Amino acid sequence: MIRYVFDVDGTLTPSRSRIDEEFRLWFVDFISKNSVWLVTGSDYDKTLEQLGPEICENVVTCYNCQGNDVWHRGKRVNTKSFTAPKDLENLLLGWLQASLFPLRTGNHIEKRRGMWNFSIVGRNATMDERAEYVKYDELNRERESIAYQINSEFENITATVGGETGIDIGRTGGDKRQILEDFNEDDDIRFFGDKMEPGGNDYPLAKANKRGKNYHVKDWRDTYNKLTQMADTAG
């Protein structure tokens, strides 16, 4: 059977923002006719804020914190922990002090269930402040450098670039690929994500998905276009 799996930020919504209302209505109808899972680095409260309960509580499963916090019909059904070495936090604080990007807005190390998220600009940044960091990072590839250092210096820990401003950090194997344990070998998994390039937080799942197809999208509009094209082809 076809199983649809979707990232959230940059795939179903603009990063850190609510889903477009017209697309939300279309997607609610899509969920009613298909088997849909969500997998995101964000926690459940943020996903609920972005997508609303009509989506979050009607998909088969909502995998938060890269699959380390699992929700079904609005209730937590499983969670995993992550204990990081002290040296990791020191490394992140060193980058926070050394980065040449001038803005700091707070909430730079967010400790979620089963993972951490690190952001130089901070999770409290406004959309305009986030946009400034996106431009800076595109020129300087700062997040790639931070992730590379973490992956080089720490065993059994993996860092990937996630969203527009953050880095997702967790135990090796504790990334989005772990959700495949909940699927059957004959499931046809159609995975949609915007960070499928090496180093992106959708890459581990895309690489491990041998049971179907991966769709590397640019944004939610691209997701919508690909889904409607698939429906037209099927029809």
Question: Which pLDDT value is given to residue 114?
Answer: 94
Verify whether residue 219 is a known catalytic residue.
no
For residue 91, list its beta bridge partners. Answer: none
Question: Which pLDDT value is given to residue 16?
Answer: 80
Which position among 7, 168, 194, 202 bears the catalytic label?
7
User: Do strands 2-6 and 36-39 pair parallel, antiparallel, or not at all (unpaired)?
Assistant: parallel
Q: 190-199: per-residue pLDDT in tens?
A: 999 999 999 8
In 10 A of CB 153, how many CB atoms? Answer: 12
For residue 167, list its beta bridge partners. Answer: 118, 161
Q: Which of 103, 147, 148 is CA-nearest to residue 127?
A: 103
Dist. CA 165–CA 17, nearest whole Å? 13
The token duo for 74 is 């609005």
In 10 A of CB 232, how many CB atoms? Answer: 8
Question: Which pLDDT value is given to residue 15?
Answer: 82
Q: 98-155: per-residue pLDDT in tens?
A: 999 999 999 999 999 999 999 999 999 999 999 999 999 999 999 999 999 999 999 9
Angle CA 8–128–145, to nearest 5: 65
In 10 A of CB 97, how many CB atoms? Answer: 8
Say if residues 105 and 124 touch (Cβ distance below 8 Å). yes
Verify whether residue 9 is a known catalytic residue.
yes
Question: Which pLDDT value is given to residue 163?
Answer: 83
pTM of the model: 0.85
Domains for the chain: give ranges and CATH numbers. 2-80+174-234 (3.40.50.1000), 86-171 (3.30.1240.20)
Which letter does DSSP use for residue 20 in this model? Answer: P
Q: Which of 7, 152, 25, 35 is CA-nearest to residue 87?
A: 152
Question: Which pLDDT value is given to residue 233?
Answer: 61
- Residues in the chain, pLDDT under 70: 232-235
Which position among 9, 137, 194, 202 bears the catalytic label?
9
